[in-house]
Amino acid sequence: MSVRIESTDGIMRAKLSGEIDHHLAGGMRTALDEAILREKPRALLLDFSDVSFMDSSGIGLVMGRYRLMNESGGEVEVVGASPQIRKVMHLAGLDKLARFS
Protein backbone atom coordinates (compact mmCIF):
# COMPACT_ATOMS: atom_id res chain seq x y z
CA MET A 1 0.00 0.00 0.00
CA SER A 2 1.29 3.41 -0.89
CA VAL A 3 0.12 6.99 -1.13
CA ARG A 4 1.52 9.64 -3.44
CA ILE A 5 0.54 13.19 -2.55
CA GLU A 6 0.68 16.14 -4.94
CA SER A 7 -0.64 19.67 -4.45
CA THR A 8 -1.45 22.34 -7.02
CA ASP A 9 -3.37 25.59 -6.56
CA GLY A 10 -4.95 24.59 -3.22
CA ILE A 11 -6.00 21.13 -4.39
CA MET A 12 -4.28 18.13 -2.83
CA ARG A 13 -4.48 14.84 -4.73
CA ALA A 14 -3.68 11.64 -2.84
CA LYS A 15 -3.16 8.69 -5.18
CA LEU A 16 -3.74 5.51 -3.14
CA SER A 17 -2.66 2.10 -4.35
CA GLY A 18 -2.73 -1.52 -3.24
CA GLU A 19 -4.81 -2.67 -0.29
CA ILE A 20 -6.18 -0.58 2.56
CA ASP A 21 -6.47 -2.61 5.75
CA HIS A 22 -5.84 -1.98 9.44
CA HIS A 23 -2.15 -2.89 9.08
CA LEU A 24 -1.45 -0.28 6.41
CA ALA A 25 -3.97 2.51 6.97
CA GLY A 26 -2.11 4.11 9.90
CA GLY A 27 0.90 5.15 7.86
CA MET A 28 -1.36 6.51 5.17
CA ARG A 29 -3.39 8.53 7.69
CA THR A 30 -0.21 10.01 9.13
CA ALA A 31 1.16 11.00 5.72
CA LEU A 32 -2.13 12.59 4.68
CA ASP A 33 -2.68 14.43 7.96
CA GLU A 34 0.84 15.86 7.96
CA ALA A 35 0.45 17.07 4.36
CA ILE A 36 -3.00 18.57 5.04
CA LEU A 37 -1.85 20.41 8.17
CA ARG A 38 1.27 21.68 6.40
CA GLU A 39 -0.36 22.81 3.14
CA LYS A 40 -3.94 23.56 4.24
CA PRO A 41 -5.58 22.75 0.88
CA ARG A 42 -9.12 23.86 0.10
CA ALA A 43 -9.88 20.44 -1.45
CA LEU A 44 -8.59 16.90 -0.98
CA LEU A 45 -9.05 14.40 -3.81
CA LEU A 46 -8.66 10.81 -2.65
CA ASP A 47 -7.90 8.75 -5.76
CA PHE A 48 -8.89 5.10 -5.23
CA SER A 49 -8.36 4.01 -8.84
CA ASP A 50 -5.42 1.72 -7.93
CA VAL A 51 -6.90 0.34 -4.68
CA SER A 52 -7.60 -3.38 -5.03
CA PHE A 53 -9.09 -4.04 -1.56
CA MET A 54 -10.47 -1.96 1.31
CA ASP A 55 -11.83 -2.94 4.72
CA SER A 56 -13.36 -0.66 7.35
CA SER A 57 -9.99 1.05 7.76
CA GLY A 58 -10.59 2.69 4.38
CA ILE A 59 -13.90 4.05 5.62
CA GLY A 60 -12.12 5.45 8.67
CA LEU A 61 -9.46 6.92 6.42
CA VAL A 62 -12.03 8.91 4.45
CA MET A 63 -14.02 9.93 7.55
CA GLY A 64 -10.96 11.18 9.42
CA ARG A 65 -9.71 13.22 6.47
CA TYR A 66 -13.22 14.64 6.05
CA ARG A 67 -13.17 15.83 9.68
CA LEU A 68 -9.73 17.36 9.27
CA MET A 69 -10.64 19.12 6.03
CA ASN A 70 -14.02 20.25 7.41
CA GLU A 71 -12.32 21.97 10.35
CA SER A 72 -10.63 24.36 7.92
CA GLY A 73 -13.60 24.75 5.58
CA GLY A 74 -12.21 22.35 2.97
CA GLU A 75 -13.91 19.51 1.15
CA VAL A 76 -13.15 15.92 0.19
CA GLU A 77 -13.80 14.19 -3.11
CA VAL A 78 -13.37 10.47 -3.76
CA VAL A 79 -12.41 9.60 -7.32
CA GLY A 80 -11.76 6.38 -9.20
CA ALA A 81 -13.27 3.95 -6.69
CA SER A 82 -14.22 0.56 -8.13
CA PRO A 83 -17.92 -0.39 -8.03
CA GLN A 84 -17.28 -2.70 -5.04
CA ILE A 85 -15.39 -0.08 -3.03
CA ARG A 86 -17.91 2.58 -3.99
CA LYS A 87 -20.75 0.36 -2.75
CA VAL A 88 -19.03 -0.16 0.63
CA MET A 89 -18.48 3.60 0.94
CA HIS A 90 -22.12 4.38 0.12
CA LEU A 91 -23.38 1.75 2.58
CA ALA A 92 -21.21 3.41 5.25
CA GLY A 93 -22.76 6.79 4.44
CA LEU A 94 -19.61 8.39 3.08
CA ASP A 95 -21.62 9.89 0.23
CA LYS A 96 -23.03 12.31 2.83
CA LEU A 97 -19.52 13.51 3.71
CA ALA A 98 -17.58 13.45 0.46
CA ARG A 99 -18.32 13.99 -3.19
CA PHE A 100 -17.88 11.00 -5.50
CA SER A 101 -16.83 11.15 -9.12
Stretch 20-41: mean pLDDT: 95
| pLDDT of 1 over the 70 cut | no
Q: Average pLDDT of the chain?
A: 95
Name the CATH code of domain 2-100 (choices 1.10.3720.10, 3.30.750.24, 3.40.50.720, 1.25.40.20).
3.30.750.24
Q: In what order do the strands lie in the sheet with 99-100?
A: 2-8, 11-20, 43-54, 75-79, 99-100
- Tell me what pLDDT residue 14 has: 98
Distance, CA of 72 to CA of 52 (rounded, Å) = 31
Whole-structure pTM value: 0.94
- Tell me what pLDDT residue 27 has: 93
Q: pLDDT per residue over 89-98, tens digit each?
A: 999 999 999 9
